Every structure is written in structure tokens, then in C-alpha cells.
Amino acid sequence: MNKKAFIFDLDGVIVDTAKYHFLAWQKIAAELGIEFTPEHNEELKGVSRVRSLDLILELGRMTASQQDKDRWLKQKNEDYLSYLVHMDQSEILPGVLHILQFLKEHHQPIALGSASKNARPILEKTGIIHYFDAIVDGNDVTNAKPDPEVFLQAARQIGATNQNAIVFEDSVAGIQAANIAGMISIGIGEAGILKEAQYNFPDFVHIDTSFIEYIIKK
């Protein structure tokens, strides 16, 4: 059997931090007089912090100095982190722990492939960091999804080929990154949005362990 690497995105796959990103970005947008809706927030999923700010400024047809941008980025992250203070295991999305446990019991390597620079504290706070054999996040990569760098590094750290890497993703950019790398892409969320994924599930509750067994043997 070929060595697999089960790579999990973080925000929107393991935890629902998108709501906190939204609240923090909304404050910045309000300060700048830019209307920022939950629909706009969809476009920021999986996108780096720096790029997210640029997208919000584009939305308001604004340009800004690097100094101002740095200030807003700092402010956004401080605000975002304030929402994470009370985070615990209860914020892990339904069904995720069951699959992590199943993979561990079957001695399958698990990796994180996230754009977030706050990934490690989130995994610690939710008490699941010990499941991960490799953690690659926004601090380790220079190219954002849909560039596959984050997933390539994760598979390399595990020692699996790209063909044997399986990526769980909730963002279009993340699915594209997995596909570009020749990995198995599994969309978590709306199939209509994640149409490019090889497999689609609304959430982890709908992933049967027989499907995971099939992927392990593939």
C-alpha cells in the first residue's frame, strides 16, 4: 500500500473561524466606509491576510499607503485573536474528531495545510495538535492558494507523493491548489461552489469511514 498524506485545511474545515475573520474585517471596512457583507467574506476564504485587505480596498475602490495597510493588518489580527481567546474543543466542526481518530487508528499520516498564520495556537486551543504529523501554515509559505506550495510542503514533510496526498478544503482556491498538485481534492461545503473538487461532502458528518478506507486502499 502506498503511503498516504491526509492534508486538512484549517478555517472552514476543522474550525469555523470564518465568522471571526468576518467580524474583524467588518470593523476595518466600517472604519473605511466600505460596505462588507457575508457574501464578500466568501471571497476571502482561504485567501491570505494581506491579499484579503487588498480585496477589501478594491471593493471600496480605495488605495492606501503601506503604512496604513500595516496598521489595519495589525488591528485586524489583534481583533481576530481577541475572538479566539475563549476557543476550545467545542468549536471543532461536527464529525472532524471522528475522522481524525479513525485515521490515527489506521496509522495514516495527518498534515495541516493552512494559509493562516494563527494555525498553531488554534490547534492547541482546540486540543488536537497531537493528531498532526506535519503542520504547514501561512508562516511557512510565500505563495498563497491556488498556488499548491502549502500542500506540496505538507506532502513532502510526510514523505508521500502528490498522487497519494488527499486534501480536505472548503475554498475554491484550495481545491484548485490540490488539483494543480495532482492530489486528491475533497470539497467540504457546497458542491455547487466547490465544483472542481474530485469528491464533495457538505461536512465531515457525511464522510463515512468506509469512504476513508477506500481512499486508504486506493
Query: Of the candidates 42, 48, 162, 198, which one interacts with ligand B16 according to CB under 6 A?
Result: 48
92 touches ligand B16 by CB under 6 A: no
Active site residue 54: no
Is 52 a binding residue for ligand B16 by CB under 6 A? The answer is yes
Residue pair 132/110 in contact (Cβ under 8 Å)? The answer is yes
Query: 146: cis peptide before it, omega within 30°?
Result: yes
Whether the CB-CB separation of 98 and 204 falls below 8 Å is answered with yes
Q: Three-state SS for 200?
A: strand
- Give CA–CA dist 145/213, Å, rounded: 28
> Does the annotation count 11 as an active-site position?
yes
Among 11, 96, 109, 123, indicate the residue that binds Mg ion (CB under 5 A): 11
Q: Which three cell numbers stand for residue 75?
A: 488591528
Q: Compare residues 18 and 103 and give the one whose CB is closer to ligand B16.
A: 18
Q: Which of 11, 133, 137, 140 is catalytic?
A: 11
Instruction: Note whether 189 binds Mg ion by CB under 5 A.
Output: no
Residue 146 contacts Mg ion per CB under 5 A: no
Residue of the chain from 26, 118, 126, 153 that contacts ligand B16 (CB under 6 A): 118
Provide CB contacts within 8 A for 143, sequence distance 6+: 149
**Shortest distance (Å) from residue 48 CB to ligand B16:** 5
Q: Which amino acid is at 127?
A: G
Question: CA separation (Å) from 177 to 13, 27, 94, 123, 125?
Answer: 16, 30, 25, 22, 28
9 touches Mg ion (CB under 5 A)? yes
Least distance to Mg ion, CB of residue 33, Å: 28
Tell me which DSSP letter residue 139 carries.
T
Quote the least distance from Cβ 45 to Mg ion, whole Å.
5
The rounded distance, in Å, linking the Cα atoms of 97 and 103 is: 10
* CB 49, min distance to ligand B16, A: 4
Pair 141, 120: CB distance under 8 Å: no
Residues 164-193 that bind ligand B16 (CB under 6 A): 171
| Residue ranges that bind ligand B16, judged by CB under 6 A | 9-12, 21, 44-49, 52, 77, 114-118, 138, 171
Task: Tell me which residues are annotated as active site.
Answer: 9, 11
| Residue ranges that bind Mg ion, judged by CB under 5 A | 9, 11-12, 46, 170-171
